[in-house]
Amino acid sequence: MRIKRNRIIYGVLILLTIVLGLCSRTYSDNLPYWIGAYSGDTLWGLMIFLMIGFLFTVMKTRHVAVISILLTFIIETSQLYHALWIDAIRRTLIGGLILGYGFLWSDLICYTIGILIGVLIEKFLCISFHVEHATD
């Protein structure tokens, strides 16, 4: 059985995740330490999962998860590379939010947890429609 993701639902979830992620950064001083420190990266991993699902509406959940893990890990390890041009991008708001600033092992764990949350949301809360595909 395959699924077809509903882009409207995924779009709303992406926007909600972005808002929560920005709030987690803005109000991190008002949150318990571990939530303020790790929720933004966890939500970023979830957002990547949702975006891949939004783009590829019939891709298997496990493939969306693998692509999301690979993408987030590549972006995180790219933070080990420092050149003037990429550091200039990182100093912008959008560049910093997308590329990050410095490599942290804990970010990889947060991204993985966020992606797993996306898998759980997709699998157990049924935000997708099941579609049978004929096999030839």
Residue 98 located in a structural domain = yes
pLDDT at 136: 39
Residue 56 located in a structural domain = yes
Residue 114 located in a structural domain = yes
Domain count, the chain: 1
pLDDT at 129: 54
Question: Distance between CA 130 and CA 113 in Å, rounded?
Answer: 25
Global confidence as pTM? 0.84
pLDDT at 82: 84
Residue 70 located in a structural domain = yes
Residue 59 located in a structural domain = yes
Rounded to 5 degrees, φ, ψ at 85 are: -65, -45
Q: Does the structure show a pLDDT above 50 at 67? A: yes
> Which pLDDT band holds residue 127 (cuts at 50, 70, 90)?
low
Question: Distance between CA 30 and CA 14 in Å, rounded?
Answer: 24
> Which pLDDT band holds residue 79 (cuts at 50, 70, 90)?
confident
* Alpha helices (H) along 27-60: 33-55
Residue 126 located in a structural domain = yes
Q: Does the structure show a pLDDT above 70 at 134? A: no
Give me the domain span that covers residue 13.
2-131
Residue 86 located in a structural domain = yes
Residue 136 located in a structural domain = no
